[in-house]
């Protein structure tokens, strides 16, 4: 009897030993509530149809919004009102979103009200920062009152380093940004997302900045970044446009949560390069979520009125909605990340494919997504005797087709694997350990009773 109990305890101590899972759990995938201008060019009812797909089909609960400069035209006056195409469709988007349950919305701000800005340099003078704080607080309050939406967190400056932007933006040095957020956060703890640069490596540089004992790493409660990379090929027609960053960043640079709040492709011919962009989006996700271990991942636009590398859903000439390959690619990840845990632990699982170069991202070792960007390569899925109870794939010819018989990954595909068998899926995650141990306890008790 004693021997048997000792053996059982040894089993307990070895269960789920793994250091490969990201230390912080993953919170989910999201999308920006836009493009407002494209909604204004589309047929009535488009907003409702788009977000019905986003909420119900993609299962997205995390949203990113904007505070517009038109919400305050003179000092001390703040309102969100349908005054023009932009504000009317911003209002409609938030009316639609407010009807859904269990959503989380955070805000990024491109530019302060125009009367606060130096519009020649696109800078916010330091003497106007306190009025900017009042603007942010008032708009947050109005959104809660008018739409019932509680803004979760706020990033006060989107892409502060992007001095070449052709749209409304704010140029701000790391010194000013960190000092401003240090002050704002003491008045309003919601204003604590930063630095939200275009590129991961630039955000890392901003975070390293220290001025007058104010450390960006300290003032940013949650570190936010985008995941773009410029096209450096001078012979390309898309030089130097932004694209998915395909670099793998294994160093997080912080122990705090990281949100990746924007990425897409701004390259041309998105309609003709659908599978390439889908595979590169998937690669970016696996690297950012599985290697950099970020906590949230947000795509750029939910919708554009025509085909675009910047949106998940495209409008058609007959007012229909078109779903490109990247929509289904995003669905592979959003569906695999849900129904395993509220905040699943994630890890890279490339070893589950029988060919090198195939990427894999595991969610609690219960679901996984495989990315195979190779021609003529159809590797098996090999998971220590376990298998996918359902495998769904998107290829150049098919979208999200599913089978419970497949055990190979098609060439040039993104595939999601669901309900992995229990002997593997619990290894490494905290939630998995608890369930695995409880199963061992039951088996152990049965063993003792039988003996």
In this structure, the number of other CB atoms found within 10 A of the CB of residue 211 comes to: 15
Q: What pLDDT sits at residue 15?
A: 31
Pinpoint the alpha helices (H) of 15-128: 36-40, 46-52, 85-97
| 64 DSSP β-pair partners | 32, 106
Residue with tokens 């592979």: 332
Q: What pLDDT sits at residue 425?
A: 42
Q: What pLDDT sits at residue 18?
A: 39
Give the separation between CA 70 and CA 95, rounded to whole angstroms.
18
Query: E strand or H helix at 260, and its extent?
Result: strand 258-262
Q: What pLDDT sits at residue 339?
A: 76
| Tokens at 8, concatenated | 């059982």
Give the separation between CA 170 and CA 175, rounded to whole angstroms.
14
**Per-residue pLDDT of the chain in tens (451 residues, 90 and over written 9):** 333 333 222 333 333 333 489 999 999 999 999 999 999 999 999 999 999 999 999 999 999 999 999 999 999 999 999 999 999 999 999 999 999 999 999 999 999 999 999 999 999 999 999 999 999 999 999 999 999 999 999 999 999 999 989 999 999 999 999 999 999 999 999 999 999 999 999 998 888 888 777 788 889 999 999 999 999 999 999 999 999 999 999 999 899 999 999 999 999 999 999 999 999 999 999 999 999 999 999 999 999 999 999 999 999 878 899 999 999 999 999 999 997 778 899 999 999 999 999 999 999 999 999 999 999 999 999 887 788 999 999 999 999 999 998 889 999 999 999 998 654 444 444 444 444 434 434 334 333 334 4
Q: What pLDDT sits at residue 349?
A: 95
Question: Which domains are present in the chain?
Answer: 28-337 (3.20.20.80)
The per-residue DSSP string of 288-339 comes to IIIIS--SEEEEEEEEESS--TTEEEEE-TTS-EE--HHHHHHHHHHHHHSS
Residue with tokens 């004693």: 2
Q: What pLDDT sits at residue 422?
A: 55
Q: What pLDDT sits at residue 406?
A: 85
Residue with tokens 């805000």: 107
CA proximity to 84, closest of 40, 23, 146: 40
| Tokens at 123, concatenated | 């800078």
Pinpoint the alpha helices (H) of 117-199: 129-147, 174-187
């Amino acid at each position: 009897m004693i021997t048997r109990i000792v053996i059982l305890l040894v089993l307990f101590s070895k269960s789920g030993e793994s250091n490969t899972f990201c230390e912080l759990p993953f919170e989910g995938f999201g999308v920006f509530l836009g493009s407002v201008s494209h909604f204004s060019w589309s047929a009535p009812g488009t907003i409702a149809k788009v977000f019905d797909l986003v909420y119900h089909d993609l299962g997205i609960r995390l949203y990113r919004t904007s505070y517009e400069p038109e919400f305050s035209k003179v000092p001390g006056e703040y309102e969100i009102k349908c005054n023009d195409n932009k504000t009317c469709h911003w209002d409609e988007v938030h009316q639609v979103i407010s009807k859904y349950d269990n959503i989380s919305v955070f805000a990024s701000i491109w530019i302060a009200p125009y009367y606060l800005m130096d519009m020649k340099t696109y800078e916010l003078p330091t003497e106007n920062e306190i009025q900017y704080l009042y603007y942010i607080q008032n708009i947050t309050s109005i959104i809660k009152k008018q739409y019932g939406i509680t803004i979760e967190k706020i990033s006060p400056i989107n892409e502060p380093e992007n001095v070449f932007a052709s749209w409304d933006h704010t140029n701000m040095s790391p010194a000013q940004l960190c000092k401003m957020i240090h002050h704002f956060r003491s008045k309003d703890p919601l204003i604590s997302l930063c630095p939200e640069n275009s590129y991961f490596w630039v955000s890392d540089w901003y975070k390293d900045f220290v001025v007058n004992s104010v450390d960006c790493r300290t003032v940013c409660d949650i570190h936010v970044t985008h995941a773009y990379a410029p096209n450096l090929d001078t012979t390309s027609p898309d030089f130097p446009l932004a694209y998915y960053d395909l670099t793998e960043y294994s160093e997080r640079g912080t122990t705090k949560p990281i949100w990746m709040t924007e990425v897409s492709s701004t390259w041309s011919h998105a309609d003709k390069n659908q599978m390439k962009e889908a595979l590169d989006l998937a690669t970016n996700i696996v690297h950012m979520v599985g290697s950099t271990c970020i906590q949230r991942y947000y795509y750029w636009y939910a919708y554009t009125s025509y085909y675009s590398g910047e949106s998940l859903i495209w409008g058609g000439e007959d007012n229909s909605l078109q779903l490109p390959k990247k929509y289904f690619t995003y669905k592979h990840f959003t569906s695999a990340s849900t129904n395993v845990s509220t905040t699943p632990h994630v890890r890279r699982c490339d070893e589950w494919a029988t060919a090198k170069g195939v990427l894999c991202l595991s969610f609690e070792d219960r679901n996984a997504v495989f990315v195979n960007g190779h021609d003529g390569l159809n590797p098996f899925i090999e998971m220590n005797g376990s298998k996918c109870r359902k495998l769904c794939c998107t290829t150049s010819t098919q979208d999200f087709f599913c089978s419970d018989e497949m055990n190979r990954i098609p060439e040039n595909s993104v595939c999601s694997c669901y309900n992995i068998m229990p002997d593997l899926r619990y290894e490494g995650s905290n939630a998995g350990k608890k369930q695995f141990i409880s199963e061992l306890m039951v088996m152990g008790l049965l063993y003792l009773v039988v003996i």
